[in-house]
Copies of this chain bind each other. A is one copy, B any other.
Amino acid sequence: MDIADLATRLRSGNRRALARGITLIESHRPDHRAQATELLERLADPSRQTLRIGLSGTPGVGKSTFIEAFGQTLIAEGHRVAVLAIDPSSARSGGSILGDKTRMERLSRNPAAFIRPSPSQTELGGVARRTREAILLCEAAGYDAVLVETVGVGQSETMVAQMTDLFVLLLAPGGGDELQGVKRGIMEIADLILVNKADGALKPQAEATRADYAGALRLLRRREGDPDDFPKALSVSALDQRGLDEAWEAMLALTTHRRDSGFFVTRRATQNRDWFEEAVLSGILQRLRQDPALRGSMETLGHAVSEGQMAPGAAADRLVERFLA
């Protein structure tokens, strides 16, 4: 593959080149990995102005409908929008955020939008690296607003927050105590809470839920780099396409504030550094997995462990000592 040519076509906004670039960075083959690195270096441009928006919501909050409507709001404002998905359950099943293009039919047909279904993955660390690289490729192809979405509960939110400039939590009206408990950790990283489905019969409940969360956010500690009225909670209706402009204005206000204060640039620098450190450790680990001496010892001791002759933890401790001695 001619990487220089791919880079040129990708930079000109060619969608097939972008899709191909993402396939390249998703590949596990060592030669593809080297090509992916070359591609990323050719496309690097620190002066590029983009906004990376993390979006999370549990199943049923209307995430697809929201992205469909919000994406078109951004396009109407003159932006080009890329949508990437991180799917924590894909490790085994090959993906639950299925058929992203079917989910967001109108948006996917819009020439100013690019939607990439989440790839099936083997480990969460790999997902982070590949999504980060996919963000860079989308930005190089001219998509200046990149939405990284993830499903509900777990570590994937933290991961998304660590690779985006702001983090939006989409909620449905209502939600019991247990639900709110689960959200505690997520609320700490949310810059903006949007209560969706503020339409029809659910409208009053959506407003009440918004007020509840606004109150809860006030109780959280103020965070470094935030303007006075952030984090904030708004209600929206993706269905009626209401409140989307206000949501975008809130994101812009926060972004402008962070750019002016220098927080935006500092945060991206920190994210790059964290990304680098993670990539170093996972790279070393990947190489070790293939190390013949280590594999041999693991084979022998692993047999003893599965036969019940040794405890797994103790056997591992011993092998680590020996290997690093």
Which A residues have a C-beta under 8 Å from some C-beta of B? 33-34, 36-37, 40-41, 44, 46, 58-60, 64, 88-94, 96-98, 124, 129, 132-133, 151-158, 176, 178-179, 181-186, 188-189, 269-270, 272-273, 275-277, 279-281, 283-285, 287-289, 294, 298, 301-303, 305-308, 311-317, 319-320, 323-324
Contact = CB atoms under 8 A, between A and B. Distances in A.
Contacts of A294: 280
Given A154-B156, A317-B37, A319-B280, A273 B288 contact: no
Nearest to A152: B153
A59 B59 CA distance: 12
Contacts of A151: 153-154, 182
Contacts of A46: 308
B92 A188 contact: yes
A294 B284 CA distance: 11
B305 A272 contact: yes
A316 to B, nearest CB: 3
Given A158-B92, A306-B270, A314-B37, A324 B276 contact: no
Nearest to A278: B316
7 contacts: A88-B154, A89-B186, A96-B185, A132-B312, A269-B308, A279-B315, A284-B288
Stoichiometry (number of copies) = 2
A90 B186 CA distance: 10
Contact of A320 (B36, B185, B287): B287
Contact of A93 (B60, B185, B287): B185
A59 B314 contact: no
Contacts of A280: 294, 298, 316, 319-320, 323
A7 B182 CA distance: 36
Contact of A155 (B91, B133, B189): B91
Of the candidates A133, A151, A156, A280, the one having the most CB atoms from chain B within 10 angstroms of its own CB is A280
Contacts of A306: 269-270, 272-273
B184 A96 contact: yes
A88 B159 CA distance: 12
B279 A59 contact: no
Nearest to A288: B284
A140 to B, nearest CB: 12
Contacts of A152: 58, 152-154, 182
Contact of A298 (B44, B59, B124, B277): B277
Nearest to A302: B273
B92 A59 contact: no
A186 B95 CA distance: 11
